Structure 1
Amino acid sequence: MNTTNWLAFTLQMVLMVLLPIGGAIFFRRRFHVPWAVFFIAAGFYLINLVIQLPFVYVWYTLFSKLPWLALLLVTLTYGVSEETMRYLSFRAGRTMRANRTPNGALLAGIGHGGTESIVFALGAVFSLLIALLAPQMLKASGVSAAAVLNAPWWTFLLSGVSRILAMTVHLGFATLIVLAYRRSWLFYPLAILVHFVVDFTTFGIQNLTGSIFWTLLLFSLWAVAALVLLVRVRRMNLGTVEQTEMPAESSQTGVPAI
């Protein structure tokens, strides 16, 4: 691994670890949202992983010869699991209930998306250490140590950039969940649908083109859409109107009503 790659990897870690932490500090100080919102959102993301990963393994195992079906089921699982946990996180105690606001959505979004970014960063560090210290362990996965260590420098950098886009999109998802409380519970299934569409199209174009550039271009468009949503919602007068309970028929729709 040459000097350029080391520098690119270092920058990748800065983008994936320090940026979400810095973003959380900024939102906390700028909008005076309690730190509990960040940590509760982060905790519910980790709970989501425990629920999500077994399903992902099962889908890819059962439908290994039907990759598009596997992708559809996996991305649908991402949407249902993550947005349900995000929805439930805003019911976890008085602090979260009091911060069902656009500002609360920002810190909760960075708590969820930032934790995801840090988890991805830990995975990247682990892969690099394996390639350096125990390259034979990579053979089972069909990846060579040389492919990891001698990858083009820009692949490290773009991996970091992709996490910035993902965190931006998570701010949009968190805002939709806040709207599920402030406006209508229908924003909850909408958040699931949007999450599914974002993931399916982004991974889908990667499968079709094999190009990280086209993938990031589409992902960038989704991030821009999330920013537009944030701006529009922040201009809305949400006031104090809040739908704290779902309609009775929600028990037939699978929407949590705790």
Structure 2
Amino acid sequence: MDILFITHFLNGFLMIAMPIGLGIYLTRRFKLGWRLWWIGAAIFVLSQVGHIPFNWVMSILLNKTALANWPHTAQTVFNVVFLGLSAGLWEEGARYAMYRWWAKDARSWRKGLLAGAGHGGAETIILGG
């Protein structure tokens, strides 16, 4: 059997199993339900519903401006900074909304850790698996 096939399979398996395993560990260790894990996962998905179309529209608009005439290296640096800030704003905005309206009871570090594990777990499963 080809080693590359094994590593691809192992990568996909671990990208799905590790977030779920972390959720199992945290819920048992801190005696919490899965509600916050699922809320965190849903918040990641909802943040991407806004984030991806925003980046699409902004890339169209920015390509029609003076940015299109910049040197390639400057365009790359601008895109890295812009896309990083965009991801941060959309995801942090979604997390703020989660703690403000959806998970008002999550005020301890244990509950925050579980919600964050759900958020990161969904990101890992969707984008990494």
Which range, TM-score by smaller chain?
Answer: 0.7 to 0.9
In the alignment, the residues of structure 1 paired with residue 107 and residue 44 of structure 2 have an alpha-carbon distance, to the nearest angstrom, of 17
Q: Report Cα offsets for 1:82-104 as digits up to 9, x if no partner.
A: 011011111334xx222221101
Q: 2:121 aligns with which of 114, 117, 135?
A: 114
Residue in structure 1 matched with residue 4 of structure 2 by the alignment = 5
The answer as to whether partners of 1:56 and 1:74 remain within 8 angstroms in 2 is yes
User: Using CA pairs below 8 Å that are at least 6 residues apart, which structure has the higher relative contact order?
Assistant: 2
In the alignment, the residues of structure 2 paired with residue 10 and residue 20 of structure 1 have an alpha-carbon distance, to the nearest angstrom, of 16
Q: Helix, strand or coil for the counterpart of 1:82?
A: helix
Correspondence list, 1:123-138, <5 A: none
Residue in structure 1 matched with residue 81 of structure 2 by the alignment = 72
Residue in structure 2 matched with residue 44 of structure 1 by the alignment = 43
**Structure with the largest fraction of helix:** 2
Residue in structure 2 matched with residue 98 of structure 1 by the alignment = 105
TM-score (ref. length: structure 1): 0.43
The answer as to whether partners of 1:20 and 1:110 remain within 8 angstroms in 2 is yes
Residue in structure 2 matched with residue 81 of structure 1 by the alignment = 90
Residue in structure 1 matched with residue 16 of structure 2 by the alignment = 17
- Structure 1 pair 111–85 and aligned structure 2 pair: CA distance change class (3 A): same
The answer as to whether partners of 1:48 and 1:82 remain within 8 angstroms in 2 is yes
The answer as to whether partners of 1:90 and 1:97 remain within 8 angstroms in 2 is yes
RMSD: 1.8
Q: Helix, strand or coil for the counterpart of 2:107?
A: coil
Q: Point out where structure 2 has 5 or more consecutive residues left out of the alignment.
A: none
State the AA in 1 paired with 2:106.
N
Runs of 4+ in 1 over 4 A off after TM superposition: none
Q: Point out where structure 1 has 5 or more consecutive residues left out of the alignment.
A: 123-258
Q: Report Cα offsets for 1:115-173 as digits up to 9, x if no partner.
A: 00011135xxxxxxxxxxxxxxxxxxxxxxxxxxxxxxxxxxxxxxxxxxxxxxxxxxx
Residue in structure 1 matched with residue 52 of structure 2 by the alignment = 53
TM-score (ref. length: structure 2): 0.82
State the AA in 1 paired with 2:10.
L
